[in-house]
Amino acid sequence: MNNTLLVLTDFSDNAWSGLRYSAFLAEQFQWKLHILHTYTLSANLTFQDHFGEDVAEVLRKEREAKMKTLAANLADLHPESSVTTACMLGEVADTVLNLLEENSYAFVVMGTAGAGGLKKRTLGSTTLNLIKCCPIGIIAVPEHYKQPKLEKVGLLTNFKNNERTLLQSLTDRVPTTLDLLLMHVTEKDITAAPETITSLTEAFADKIQFNSVKYIEKNAVYRLDYYMPIPRAIDWMIEKEGVDLLIVCYNRKSFFTRFLSRNLPKFISNNLLIPTYFRSESFL
């Protein structure tokens, strides 16, 4: 199933955005979709034998009916898509990891709340947990993202050796040649040395096939008269260069992740402009 996307849904609007983006990828690269919904029972019901079994059966039928409706709606918009579905009892992270042990998927995709207000839900925490434990990484898609395209990818770089492995983990699974934008956020007006930039761009161009490789940096500023924090600096580069997919390494030691580790659930739920591929350094 390495030509299949594992797409997570909780039947929300933001999950629908993840499905639509997945369907776009499937159409572009002739991939299949496997849509997964997970659900749990409350602890007090689990141990109440017959009553718990009855509740579980009602819940199963309810979720499967929602999945049937979801698949039908998706088929109306993307009639050529090859779609399978599953509703499974269990925690989402455990279920995803079990499926990844049994099958080979191109990517795991899930929707996030995106720009427009932090929801009173744990979606950000769920996404963070999956980023930490998912060996193939997570593509997070912001809610209401409506212009899918995959031609230019932006890699958030801090000049680390594992960034090439991170990037290759994506390009090896995408059957097309992309444009690459290397994106670096600076602080305190400290810019990268020209030889460092040249070495970085040449290393990527030599080892991985791209249509083009370009470097850009933006300084994060925290003055009262001009406020450009890290997320805004990233957004500025994305919008200026027309990036279609952002690539981020989850690494607790980097300055970028020190910022994200404090705010990642909110950042993912409330600030993503475009689909973003997150992968933990543990799997690079």
**What residue spans define the domains of the chain?**
4-142, 152-243
Fold of 4-142: Rossmann fold (3.40.50)
44 — pLDDT class (breaks 50, 70, 90): low
- Once rounded to an integer, what is the mean pLDDT over residues 79-92? 94
Of 123, 162, 125, 87, which is closest to residue 13 (Cα–Cα)? 123
Angle at the Cα of 104 (from 99 to 106), degrees rounded to 5?
110
Write out the DSSP string of 147-202: ----SEEEEE--S-TTHHHHHHHHHTTSSS-EEEEEEEEEETT-PPPHHHHHHHHH
Half-sphere exposure (CA, 13 Å, Cβ side) for 60? 10
pLDDT at 43: 58
Q: What is the average pLDDT value for the chain, to the nearest integer?
A: 84
* Reported pTM: 0.88
pLDDT at 284: 81
Residue reference for tokens 């919008």: 239
The pairs formed by 255-262 with CB atoms below 8 angstroms and a separation of 24 or more are 255/158, 255/187, 256/156, 256/158, 256/185, 256/230, 259/230
Residue 209: alpha-carbon gap to chain centroid: 23
Predicted confidence (pLDDT) per residue in 143-181, tens digit? 888 878 999 999 989 888 888 999 999 999 999 999 999
- Once rounded to an integer, what is the mean pLDDT over residues 89-107? 94
